[in-house]
Amino acid sequence: MKEPIFPNDEREDPWIVVQVSADEHWNAYHDIRRAVLFEARGLIGYDANHPDDRRDGHFPLLLLLENTPVGAARLDLTGDETAWVRTVAISEECQGKGYGRMLMTGLEKFASQHGVERLLVNAARDAVGFYGALGWTVVEAGGENPVLTKELRTGPEW
């Protein structure tokens, strides 16, 4: 099955965000999240069979740079115009090079095309600055994972 790709179908960009469906992309999606969100934080127990990754309205996404997976995230639609961004991760050796911004650009485009007008995220404390740089604003500063939001652009060109 052909995987939907963003931001375009012409592959003019060196990077694309794909909706995960091929086995090799599922493997890369889990490898990146396991390494970045668990192993690098000293956590164990990553579950590659977690049902949340396969639920209706949940979209695992992968950032490919020249066909090499470098980042992963999941977009969870809520049923209205809002969606939650989950488990954003860029491979450790690729961090700080603008790939997180690329991943979120593709994710936003994907979300807009699914009728999403407002994104929400439970951010890791040390990632709040990343979302701030991308135009997100804090709506709940307290707690271990501050909640941030971003209104998406709408319109035919987007």
Structure tokens at 156: 């035919």
The Cα–Cα gap between 55 and 73 comes to: 15
Quickly list DSSP for 40-69.
GGT-----TT-GGGTSTTEEEEEEEETTEE
Question: Which residue from 76, 81, 99, 112 is in contact with ligand COA, where contact means CB under 6 A?
Answer: 99
Q: Is 101 in the site for ligand COA (CB under 6 A)?
A: yes
Shortest gap between Cβ of 156 and ligand COA (angstroms)?
27
Question: Which residue from 10, 56, 93, 126 is in contact with ligand COA, where contact means CB under 6 A?
Answer: 126
Q: 138-143: long-range contacts (C-beta < 8 A, 24 or more apart)?
A: none
Shortest gap between Cβ of 101 and ligand COA (angstroms)?
4
Are 88 and 134 in contact by the 8 Å Cβ rule? The answer is no
Q: Is 89 in the site for ligand COA (CB under 6 A)?
A: yes
Q: Which is nearer to ligand COA, 96 or 155 (CB)?
A: 96
The residue ranges that bind ligand COA (CB under 6 A) are 36-37, 88-90, 95-101, 123-124, 126-127, 129-130, 133
